[in-house]
């Protein structure tokens, strides 16, 4: 936030004709200097008092609605939120170095779907193996408009997605960072029906989202903004969704640039970051944007639960809506790296 500065100089206008006053003899140089010093000091004190009154009394920007926070601009850094050292240890890293129609089988599983299985990840499309590959040091998740029928697929589109379930998951105080370039373009209509996402999902048997879901990044339809979001629900329930989210303005074109999308989860807080700078934070006082009647409207956290990572592009579906005739295919969700660090020694305060 900024305030307009005021001119600290003062000007005395003597209206002799209107007041009938006579002009006094000029003061000696020493007296004039002393008056000038006192005048400047007075102006400075008055300005300081005015600023304090403005800061503590005058109304500021309106508070965001419950479940959202005013994001912190993050366009001044290209650092990583998941640096090794300073109390953090790198526990996982993949830089996708080997070209080919494969991913590291010790870490990743391709999502193969006929449009029914893994519906939330592929939406109204089918997940195929050939839509997931590594090229030029990048992981590529490709989405296409099918030119001919794909056996067993009821849709006109195919897509790519991967996850780490049963292979890699992390619990405790953890940071997960994904450097990626989003699929699509800012040109209106050209990315209609495309939803890209980076999720962390509980790797236990809980019914989502009763143990929380972290949407590190979600984006639809070529919008100039993306979302960070956190979902939770009452214990032992399914689909009683509570959500807190933000749409940070990073100052970057995420269709043209690789940005690092990061998250840190602890027992009392979830913090999102872009390029190493915090953009959104949720704590136990954060209220859900959409409330329920069961009383579970303040955020709950589950850092003792292991979370696995999902990278995916969905086509169509209820949120993004149907694909338009002008939607351009193929589109590619590109990943430069995935890094995970965990806390080795607690800071003085968190």
Look at the alpha carbons of 249, 310, 290, 182 in this order and tell me if their dihedral is positive or negative. positive
How many Å apart are CA 206 and CA 213, to the nearest integer? 11
Q: What's the start-to-end Cα distance of the chain, in Å?
A: 26
CA distances 207 to 105, 109, 236, 310, Å, are: 27, 21, 7, 17
CA distances 117 to 46, 56, 128, 165, 316, Å, are: 68, 55, 12, 15, 15
Lowest mean pLDDT: which of 62-71, 128-137, 242-251? 62-71
E-assigned strand segments in the chain: 88-94, 109-110, 126-127, 132-135, 138-145, 157-159, 161-163, 174-181, 194-202, 213-220, 227-232, 242-246, 259-265, 269-274, 277-283, 307-315, 331-343
Selected residue with higher pLDDT from 35 and 186:
186
Residue 178's pLDDT band (cuts 50, 70, 90)? very high
Whether the CB-CB separation of 221 and 321 falls below 8 Å is answered with yes
Size of the chain in residues? 350
Whether the CB-CB separation of 197 and 215 falls below 8 Å is answered with yes
Regarding beta strands 138-145 and 331-343, do their DSSP bridges make them parallel or antiparallel, or are they unpaired?
Answer: antiparallel
pLDDT at position 89 over 90:
yes
What share of the chain has pLDDT > 70, as a percent? 75
Q: What is the pLDDT of residue 212?
A: 92
Q: What is the pLDDT of residue 303?
A: 85
Q: Give the mean pLDDT of 92-107.
A: 97
Q: Quick: pLDDT tens for 279-297.
A: 999 999 998 887 776 677 8
| Neighbour-count burial of 239, counting CB atoms closer than 10 A to its CB (0-12 exposed, 13-18 middle, 19+ buried) | exposed
Q: What is the pLDDT of residue 41?
A: 52
Residue 191's pLDDT band (cuts 50, 70, 90)? very high
Residue 85's pLDDT band (cuts 50, 70, 90)? confident
Grouping H, G, I as helix, E, B as strand and the rest as coil, residue 36 is helix
- What is the 3 state secondary structure string of 90-157? EEEEECCCCCECCCCCCCCEECCECCCCCHHHHECCEECHHHEEEECCEEEEEEEECCCCCCCCCCCE
Q: Give the mean pLDDT of 272-284.
A: 96
Residue 347's pLDDT band (cuts 50, 70, 90)? low
pLDDT at position 205 over 60:
yes
Q: Give the mean pLDDT of 148-166.
A: 95
Q: What is the pLDDT of residue 118?
A: 87
Q: Quick: pLDDT tens for 29-77.
A: 444 455 444 555 554 545 444 433 333 333 333 334 444 444 444 444 5
Lowest mean pLDDT: which of 51-65, 102-116, 273-287, 325-339? 51-65
pTM reported for the whole predicted model = 0.78
Mean pLDDT taken over the chain? 81
Grouping H, G, I as helix, E, B as strand and the rest as coil, residue 298 is strand
Selected residue with higher pLDDT from 73 and 278:
278
What share of the chain has pLDDT > 90, as a percent? 62
Q: Quick: pLDDT tens for 217-234.
A: 999 999 999 999 999 988
Q: What φ, ψ does residue 131 adopt, rounded to 5°?
A: -90, 5
pLDDT at position 346 over 50:
yes
Q: What is the pLDDT of residue 296?
A: 78
The token pair that represents 198 in the structure block: 């980076």
Q: What is the pLDDT of residue 42?
A: 57
In the chain, alpha helices (H)? 16-19, 29-56, 119-122
């Amino acid at each position: 936030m900024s305030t307009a500065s005021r001119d600290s100089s003062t000007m005395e206008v003597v209206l002799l004709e209107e007041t009938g006053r006579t002009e006094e003899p000029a003061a000696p140089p020493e007296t004039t200097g002393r008056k000038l010093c006192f005048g400047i000091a007075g102006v400075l004190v008055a300005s300081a008092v005015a600023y304090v009154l403005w800061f503590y009394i005058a109304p500021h920007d309106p508070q965001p609605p419950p479940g959202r926070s005013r994001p912190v601009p993050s366009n001044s850094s290209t650092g990583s939120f998941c640096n090794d050292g300073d109390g953090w240890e790198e526990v996982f890293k993949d830089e996708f170095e080997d070209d080919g129609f494969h991913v590291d089988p010790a870490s990743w599983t391709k999502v193969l779907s006929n449009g029914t299985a893994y519906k939330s990840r592929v939406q109204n499309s089918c997940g195929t193996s050939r839509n997931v590959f590594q090229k030029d040091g990048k992981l590529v998740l490709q989405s296409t408009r099918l030119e001919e029928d794909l056996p067993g697929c009821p849709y006109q589109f195919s897509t790519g997605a991967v996850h780490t379930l049963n292979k890699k998951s992390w619990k405790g105080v953890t940071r997960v960072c994904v450097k990626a370039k989003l699929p699509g373009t800012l040109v209106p209509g050209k990315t209609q029906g495309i939803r890209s996402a980076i999720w962390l999902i509980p790797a236990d048997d809980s019914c989502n989202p009763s143990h929380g879901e972290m949407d590190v990044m979600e984006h639809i339809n070529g919008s100039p903004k993306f979302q960070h979001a956190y979902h939770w629900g009452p214990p032992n329930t399914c689909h009683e969704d509570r959500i807190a989210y933000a749409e940070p303005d990073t100052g970057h074109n995420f269709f043209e640039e690789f940005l690092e999308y990061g998250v840190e989860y602890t027992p009392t807080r979830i913090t999102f970051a872009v390029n190493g700078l915090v953009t959104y934070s949720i704590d136990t006082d954060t209220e859900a944007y959409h409330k329920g009647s069961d009383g579970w409207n303040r955020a709950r956290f589950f850092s003792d639960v292991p979370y696995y990572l999902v990278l995916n592009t969905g086509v169509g579906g209820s949120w993004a809506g149907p694909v338009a005739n002008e939607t351009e295919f193929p589109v590619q969700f590109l990943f430069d790296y995935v890094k995970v660090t965990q806390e080795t020694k607690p800071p003085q305060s968190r």
